[in-house]
Structure 1
């Protein structure tokens, strides 16, 4: 039996998919046009930027502030709690869900990545990829330049050091620093 689901359906399910097809292309074009508008809104009020965020994101709590420039794959897989702050030049590759809890603060140049690739070279050669969700709790601080890799969960009140590469989960209240990030 042949799988009749679209590549987008497979992507959203976190399964192997090929990042092409009309649905994925349309969603990416929509996100690209939105980023042009959002990133041009640097001088707009926080309220105006919040309204723009709500146009594309899956959920946006009150008081969210993301300083442009800001980059996403699609936007609709991102859920932001109240009072979330992202500084300049952050990237969220949201091929599957990214959740960021209330009051979390994220430094400049942080990358949150859900896009992943098979370890098997034969699958990679077929152009297959997959997504693994990222979950960041409430009141987390992520220092500038950190990389949050696919499938990572960070618990409430955790601290991620600047420049850290987070390859594994960090429990609530933990401090993780370094490359790869280690718990302190």
Structure 2
């Protein structure tokens, strides 16, 4: 890759100017790929997945992002296995967005790695920065939530719908609000309740299937 001061500064989490990034390292290609995805027929799942694999830096097995979706670069997003995101999600990936396995994302969730200086004079110089976002395994993010720069969401956590997540989320917790705060920890009783409900579902479904024969 050709030396590119601003692009390298961006990925390092330092101040940079977007206008200074060389065209070959810019975000135009990712935006074009997204435009193609968003214009595909909604039932053409195979082509959508193929193009999403080409869009993202990593796209694991059994993954699907429901169009329409939006990115800045696309290639700075790395997604593990068994991922689903509902429609209208935004991946503003001027820095890395790292997503683990078995993550579920509701509609209109926004991942914003981009930030701007608090000082207005510095900000007016078109200087900005980006910090990575990490979403660990088995996380569920409710619709219309916003994840801000530098945040890590721990394993098995739940982000309630409409939350604005400004700081790290501990594993095995439910957070919500603006700014998001811990509502409670996920307890063994939660696991027991939902495992029992799942077993009942599978039994009822098996009984129903037998009746159809």
Give 1:144's aligned residue: 143
After TM superposition, the structure 1 stretch with the greater mean CA deviation from structure 2, 48-57 or 129-138, is: 48-57
Give 2:86's aligned residue: 87
Q: TM-score, normalised by structure 1?
A: 0.93
After TM superposition, the structure 1 stretch with the greater mean CA deviation from structure 2, 112-121 or 88-97, is: 112-121
Kept in 2, the 8 Å contact 1:8–1:24? The answer is: no
After TM superposition, the structure 1 stretch with the greater mean CA deviation from structure 2, 115-124 or 134-143, is: 115-124
Kept in 2, the 8 Å contact 1:91–1:110? The answer is: yes
Q: Which runs of 5+ in 2 are unaligned?
A: 184-213
Q: Which has the higher contact order (CA 8 A, sep 6+)?
A: 1
CA distance in structure 2 between the partners assigned to 1:42 and 1:171 by the alignment: 39
Pairwise CA distance, 1:118: 1.1
Closer, same or farther: CA 155–24 of 1 in aligned 2, 3 Å: farther
CA distance in structure 1 between the partners assigned to 2:147 and 2:19 by the alignment: 25
1:60-139 paired onto structure 2 within 5 Å: 60-139=59-138
Greater C-alpha Rg? 2
Give 2:178's aligned residue: 179
Residue 26 of structure 2 aligns to a residue in which SS? helix
CA distance in structure 1 between the partners assigned to 2:102 and 2:25 by the alignment: 32
Q: Across the two proteins, how many residue pairs are aligned to each other?
A: 181
Indicate the structure with greater helix content: 2
User: C-alpha offsets along residues 62-107 of structure 1, whole Å, 9 cap, x if unaligned?
Assistant: 1111000000000011000101100000001000100111110000
Give 1:9's aligned residue: 8
CA distance in structure 1 between the partners assigned to 2:176 and 2:81 by the alignment: 26
Pairwise CA distance, 1:24: 5.1
Residue 183 of structure 1 aligns to a residue in which SS? strand
CA distance in structure 2 between the partners assigned to 1:64 and 1:153 by the alignment: 21
